[in-house]
Amino acid sequence: FFFFSLGPTPSQYPSQTALRFSEIAPFGLIEKHILISNMSVRPSANFMPSQDMPPAGGFRKIDMSRYLSKAGIDRGPKGWQLWAGSAVIIAYGYYKVGQYNIERNQQKMQERKVRYALAPVLQAEADREYMMRETANLKKEADVMKGVSGWQVGMSPYFSGKWMPRAIAQLDRSTK
């Protein structure tokens, strides 16, 4: 069970209403005070809000000597020195990127030359493998089609007049 009752307005909060909140709990009555904003109620005419002001005579001066070097005011490098240092670092970075690109391009060119030099050897290997496979396929075709009259072994069924290597694997898959 809850019981609400409006209490008196505290003097330090003129625009708020104090709400006394009573609750009956298993172990007894609990009272809580909650402040509810009531902006429609105007504060009294003699209410003066408290305002932060500096102490009489002002604040004391901040001691900066502990932050500055003993030899005098040293606030670090000048602006032009920072810009010059940044420009040098960036220029060095671009130089290193350029050197890396040159080295990488030379390495790619060397790999390309090696591939170009090996291409005829690799093509000869592929041609020799093709001829061995084609010879085995032609023997298998002649053996399979020996009873068919008019069959020519190795003849292209397309009659295009152009030679194309066969794009099939071995006929005899058991001899891989």
Maximum alpha-carbon separation in the chain: 127
CB 16 within 8 A of CB 41: no
Question: pLDDT (tens digit, 9 = 90+) per residue, 3-18?
Answer: 444 444 444 444 444 4
Band of residue 68 on the pLDDT scale cut at 50, 70, 90:
low
Could you state, in order of their start, the residue ranges of all structural domains in the chain?
2-37, 82-140
pLDDT tens digits along 115-165? 999 999 999 999 999 899 889 889 999 999 999 988 888 887 777 888 777
- What is the spatial distance between Cα 32 and Cα 11, in angstroms, rounded to a whole number? 19
What is the end-to-end Cα distance of the chain in Å, rounded? 89
Q: Greater confidence, 77 or 41?
A: 77
How much is the pLDDT for 108?
98
